[in-house]
Chain A
Amino acid sequence: MLKELNAYERQCISALQSHPLFRKTADLSWDELIVVLLQRRYLSLLIINVFEFVIDALESEMLRATVRLILHEEYPRNTRGTPLPSPRDLLFRDLRHLGASRLQILTTAESALTREVRLESLAALESCLSLPHGELALLCVLRFGAEVLVSVEYGCLWPRLSERFAHGIAGEAQRSQFF
């Protein structure tokens, strides 16, 4: 039975990898690419709400504990307990290195479609609650939407982004910490 699910997952991954937008990533101007990344940031900021929702929604304490563990990784600390930059901090830094200004990152408005997708992502989680196998549904949404596909997205963007990190904007190479 899992064969069917695995096959479907692979189909979706491959469809995302060959998404029309990712097929033309190389042709996008830097300004256009920054627009994509700034909208994508709104979905990155959502991740904490997603984890918190799933933790509250899962009934199994064992499952809650596994999700809690990931949430804690979103707020890393060093061995002395000092807070380190979060993935969102690192994303901000990377966006700056890619050429977005501080103000641009902080003040670019969320597009209507991004807002729609963000709200529907939360609605997808909420709708799991009324399903007969709600925990399974929640885990599937979390795993595939918030973990697996996110990695595919960044994998598709990376060839273009790595070029910029390697050469830098002012000729000074930067190391990406988020992507």
Chain B
Amino acid sequence: MIHDRRQSDIDAEPLLGGLTHSQERARHIATLIDSPETLEIAIEQVKRAWGLKDRFYRQFLPQGASGFA
């Protein structure tokens, strides 16, 4: 199965050829970020999504293991 990896930066999706779902979503996101406030909201969500993954995988480590903060 092809999972939806990040193949390009936001707003750098190819003009030709098919887009992955995440690229398609990135195009929409690029149109909605037009101010420092919207940028901050986007970064906040990315941070939150990352934090959940970090916590999930940390449960399998001995307590106190350090990582990305």
Interface residues of A (CB under 8 A from B): 1-2, 4-6, 8-9, 12-13, 15-16, 18-22, 32, 35-36, 39-40, 43, 63, 66, 70, 87, 90, 111, 113-114, 116-117, 120-121, 124, 128, 131-133, 135-137, 139-145, 147-155, 177-179
Cα of A149 to Cα of B45 in the assembled complex, Å: 13
Residues in B whose Cβ lies below 8 Å from that of A133: 32, 37-38, 41
- Given contacts A2-B10, A117-B55, A179-B1, are A21 and B37 in contact (CB under 8 A)? no
Residues in B whose Cβ lies below 8 Å from that of A142: 25
Q: How large is the interface on B (under 10, 10 to 19, 20 to 34, 35 or more residues)?
A: 35 or more
Interface residues of B (CB under 8 A from A): 1, 3-6, 9-12, 21-22, 24-26, 28-30, 32-34, 36-39, 41-50, 52-61, 65-68
Query: Mind listing 28 A-B residue pairs with CB under 8 Å?
Result: A4-B39, A9-B6, A13-B6, A15-B54, A19-B57, A20-B57, A20-B61, A20-B66, A35-B60, A36-B57, A36-B60, A66-B21, A66-B28, A70-B21, A87-B1, A90-B1, A113-B56, A113-B59, A120-B52, A132-B37, A132-B41, A137-B42, A139-B32, A142-B25, A143-B22, A143-B29, A151-B6, A178-B1
Q: Shortest Cβ distance from B48 into chain A, in angstroms?
A: 5
Residue of B at shortest CB range from A120?
A: B52
Cα of A44 to Cα of B59 in the assembled complex, Å: 17
Q: By DSSP majority rule, is chain B's interface helix, strand, loop, or mixed?
A: helix
How many A-B pairs fall under 8 Å by CB?
164
Q: By DSSP majority rule, is chain A's interface helix, strand, loop, or mixed?
A: helix
Q: Shortest Cβ distance from B46 into chain A, in angstroms?
A: 5
Q: Shortest Cβ distance from B33 into chain A, in angstroms?
A: 6
The 3 closest A-B CB pairs, nearest first, are A145-B49, A15-B68, A140-B45
